[in-house]
Amino acid sequence: MKWITASLATLTIIILIGSSPSITLSQDKSPTWEVYFSPNGGCTEAIIRKLSKAKTSVLIQAYLFSSEPIAKALLDTHKEVIEVEVILDKSQKTEKYSAEDFFANSGVPTKIDSAHNIAHNKIIIIDDETVITGSFNFTKSAEEKNAENLLMIRDKKLAETQ
């Protein structure tokens, strides 16, 4: 069995790989954390659940974005008159029908980050309160084939540092 130790501010998280697909850590009236691992660890479902609870805004920056379930949840959120903005890596522009085209054609404000060699971020900020990040790309392969992680942090102070 493998152990991973990650440090967040003053909290140390120790996770036993292979134990549980997700672990929720919290402290009284403090930020909360949810940790997910793929393959097949529920990362996509966790993102969809959080998007469905958005009330005011969703900001996304993604290196790769081809997950149909996450895209559909994002569009459903946008239809609820919730502010949604997407920033994608310039590699997403080279596809015949890219995520950029998809979101722009759906009325979601979308930008390409061409200022950097690679815009490798994978982050979602919901309602200036929840930050979703990790190695998890928003793709089917990330959910079903790759070894990836997803961290959901409910912390207003962290989310406001965008």
Return the CATH number at 75: 3.30.870.10
Q: How far apart are CA 137 and CA 49, in angstroms?
A: 17
Q: Would you list the DSSP string of 62-112?
A: ES-B--HHHHHHHHHHHHTT-EEEEEEEGGGGSSTT-HHHHHHHTT--EEE
pLDDT in the model for residue 16: 40
In one letter, which amino acid is 83? Answer: E
Look at the chain and report how many structural domains it folds into.
Answer: 1
What is the tens place of the pLDDT at every residue in 57-83?
999 999 988 899 999 999 999 998 789
Q: How confident is the model at residue 104 (pLDDT cuts 50, 70, 90)?
A: confident
* Tokens, residue 66: 């081809």
Share of the chain above pLDDT 70, in %: 79
Domain of 21 in residue numbering reads as 3-159
What is the model's pTM? 0.78
pLDDT in the model for residue 81: 78
Q: How far apart are CA 103 and CA 3, in angstroms?
A: 39
For the CA atoms of 23, 70, 39, 131, the dihedral, rounded to the nearest 10 degrees, stands at: -40
* Residues noted as catalytic: 120, 122, 127
pLDDT in the model for residue 38: 93
**pLDDT reading at 98 higher than 50:** yes
* Tokens, residue 20: 């549980």
State the chain's mean pLDDT as an integer.
82
CB 47 within 8 A of CB 53: no
**pLDDT reading at 125 higher than 70:** yes
Sign of CA dihedral 147, 71, 26, 160: positive
* Tokens, residue 154: 């409910």
